[in-house]
Amino acid sequence: MKLSHILKPNMKAAFYGRHSTDKQDMDMQMNSVMEVIRKYDCIHTHSFLDKAVSARKNKLTSRKELENMFETAKRQEFDFVIVYKSDRLARDPLEHQTIRIVMKTLGIPIIISSTEGVYNTDNDLIVKLMEDGFTKYEVDTIIARTRSGLENKAKQGKWLGGKPPFGYTYDKNSGHFIEYPEELGYVKEIFSLYLKGHGFQYIANTFPKGSRRGKGWGKENIKAIVLNPFYCGLISWRRQTDGKLNARDIWIEAPNHYVKPIIPRNTWEACWRIYSEKRSGNMVPKHYKTSFLLQGLLSCEKCHALMRTKNQQTVSSTNKKYGGKIYFCSNCKVRVDADLLHDKVVNQTLTDVKVSGFHNVYRAIEKKIQHEIKELNHNIQKHQQLYENYTIKLQNITEELKQRMKNNDDKRLLKSLAIYRLDVQRKLDTITQQINEFKKQITLKEKVEKSKETWLHTLNEVFQDDVKLQEISDMDKRRFLLPLIQSVSVKENKKRNEYDISLQLRTDFSKRDVKNQISLIL
């Protein structure tokens, strides 16, 4: 096929180059490639250069830039790949087939500049089979294998390149990071503000314009810092895909031997917990900052609806305050004074917890969460069995499809088999998503909810001697209450003109034989 039938003006070109020893060879490859790009009025947008790399000695899994080319191709960031000769891509026939299958399935042609030809595969039986039945599943499997080399380096805590975190630059010659104290001062302040409950945009607005290396701050800049464990002494890899944050259970984390942590590990984990709860919908933005400590926990016992909140406070011209804050049920017309309720509930919870002590509190919470993790693991096992069954079914269908295609069986039968195969693949994908969601919940519970480090900040003030309720900030009170309280319900007692308040803790710290239920009278 003529190149003029493939290459059109303004198409985006990605150059892949490789040389073993001679740098001048790379320049020669580039010159040849650029001539073709200019000849057909295309645009050079990407370069992937494996320098001082032998195709004979280094398999696909060891060639970082080739792996990057695959990943970028998946995102469709360019229209075609151009190389000087096919041997720049590979020398092993099987590796050639691997590259051909991946790029063919992604719909991205590979052009050979030295011959102005196409890296053609139309006569390959394997590719024909790909076109008739294979799906993105196989391509992702192939690409995943090429990532194993990088994963091994990441597990060893090695820096894999990319843009260094804010506050540092990386010296390639020495292999060391250079710290910038002024910038790291901003980083420490960012973590401090986020831990206090402030959002990304709020934090960005607090810093002077131009203080981010001459540029302004945005919420994405703040987010990138808060979610990077580099600052607490961890090297991480596979945190993001296509700019989106991955579930933490697929991250690779290893000790950071390049720099000293500028924040404690428990501080970063606490920030991660806040972000995770916001992201999962378990915590609305500014959830910790509300002065309604029982928001989302308090319900009406009669209709079981969550109580709503309203701030009726007003301030006169003489700075005198009138009114107060209330919880109310719009269905049953129940209204409860928020401050009075807070005093009762917080004091009772504090009493139970302080009598028990920090370690007993932690063990009780840990036991509860461990049971939840056990249930999640049980669900994973059931889904993994389903996954194995469908995988066997998929393999059988694929083999049958290949055999029937070789025998030139009836096209309608082949089409039916292909549709059936696709349906099985979709079920596999759904099961995989469910398993990943269970694993994500387990990771959150193990690394955040039952982490002693994340509890230290929350309970530090609670266990101080002679601590007074009014001396604890609303944010710390709420951070303390949320993990401990299962629910709070209100029931109006008209005979006594009072309210019965039922407090359900996650565990009975006071050792009362009341099945975690205690009653308070307002």
Query: For position 119, which CATH number holds?
Result: 3.40.50.1390
- On whether residue 88 sits in a domain, the answer given is yes
Cα-based distances in Å from 233 to 60, 193, 261, 491: 31, 20, 5, 50
Q: Who has greater pLDDT, 456 or 16? A: 16
Q: What is the mean pLDDT of residues 286-307?
A: 82
- On whether residue 477 sits in a domain, the answer given is no
- On whether residue 323 sits in a domain, the answer given is no
Using the predicted structure, report yes or no on whether residue 394 has a pLDDT greater than 50. Answer: yes
Distance of CA 356 to the CA centre of its chain: 36
With residues binned 3-state (H G I as helix, E B as strand, rest as coil), the percentages for the chain, rounded to 5, are: 50, 15, 30
Which tens digit of pLDDT belongs to each residue from 242-293? 677 888 888 888 888 899 999 998 889 888 888 887 776 555 444 556 788 8
Residues 7 and 137 in one domain: yes
Q: What is the mean pLDDT of residues 146-161?
A: 70
Which one of 401, 436, 471 terminates a domain? 436
| Contact between residue 302 and residue 320 where contact means Cβ atoms under 8 Å apart | no
Residue 401 domain boundaries: 359-436
Predicted local distance difference test score (pLDDT) of residue 169: 93
Residues 111 and 214 in one domain: no
Residues 16 and 142 in one domain: yes
Largest CA distance in the chain: 96
Predicted local distance difference test score (pLDDT) of residue 382: 93
Predicted local distance difference test score (pLDDT) of residue 23: 60
**Which residues, at least 6 apart from 14, have a Cβ–Cβ distance to it below 8 Å?**
45, 46, 47, 48, 69, 72, 73, 77, 78, 80, 81, 82
Using the predicted structure, report yes or no on whether residue 58 has a pLDDT greater than 60. Answer: no
**Which residues, at least 6 apart from 273, have a Cβ–Cβ distance to it below 8 Å?**
444, 448, 449, 451, 454
Q: Is 235 helix (H, G, I), strand (E, B) or coil?
A: strand
| Contact between residue 313 and residue 324 where contact means Cβ atoms under 8 Å apart | yes
Predicted local distance difference test score (pLDDT) of residue 126: 46
Residues 139 and 97 in one domain: yes
Residues 25 and 118 in one domain: yes
DSSP letter, residue 507: S
Q: Tokens for 456, please give them.
A: 């230290």
Which tens digit of pLDDT belongs to each residue from 99-124? 887 888 788 999 999 888 888 644 44
- Measure the CA–CA gap between 4 and 362, rounded to whole angstroms: 70
H or E stretch covering 15 = strand 12-19
- On whether residue 299 sits in a domain, the answer given is no
Which one of 235, 258, 288 terminates a domain? 288
- Count how many domains the chain has: 3
- Measure the CA–CA gap between 103 and 81, rounded to whole angstroms: 9
- On whether residue 83 sits in a domain, the answer given is yes
Which tens digit of pLDDT belongs to each residue from 62-95? 688 888 898 899 899 999 999 998 878 876 666 7
- On whether residue 130 sits in a domain, the answer given is yes
Which one of 436, 463, 478 terminates a domain? 436
- Measure the CA–CA gap between 8 and 6, rounded to whole angstroms: 6
Residues 268 and 167 in one domain: yes
Residues 20 and 123 in one domain: yes
Q: How many CB atoms lie within 10 A of CB 230?
A: 23
Share of the chain above pLDDT 70, in %: 77
HSE (side-chain half, CA atoms, 13 Å) at 316: 5
Residues 180 and 212 in one domain: yes
Residues 229 and 273 in one domain: yes
Cα-based distances in Å from 274 to 197, 226, 426: 8, 11, 34
H or E stretch covering 170 = strand 168-171
Residues 128 and 159 in one domain: no
- Of 221, 231, 237, 220, whose CA–CA distance to 269 is shortest? 231
Q: Who has greater pLDDT, 122 or 357? A: 357
The mean pLDDT value of the chain amounts to 79
DSSP letter, residue 306: B
Q: Who has greater pLDDT, 23 or 102? A: 102
Predicted local distance difference test score (pLDDT) of residue 451: 63
CATH of the domain at 282: 3.90.1750.20
Share of the chain above pLDDT 90, in %: 24
Q: Which residues pair with 245 in a beta bridge?
A: 240
**Planar angle of CA 55, 59, 61, nearest 5 degrees:** 130
Q: What is the mean pLDDT of residues 133-160?
A: 60
- Measure the CA–CA gap between 397 and 416, rounded to whole angstroms: 11
- On whether residue 116 sits in a domain, the answer given is yes
Residues 402 and 381 in one domain: yes
Residues 128 and 160 in one domain: no
| Contact between residue 413 and residue 344 where contact means Cβ atoms under 8 Å apart | no
Which tens digit of pLDDT belongs to each residue from 419-432? 888 888 888 999 99
> Out of 35-49, 101-115, 127-141, which region has the weakest mean confidence (pLDDT)?
127-141
- On whether residue 163 sits in a domain, the answer given is yes
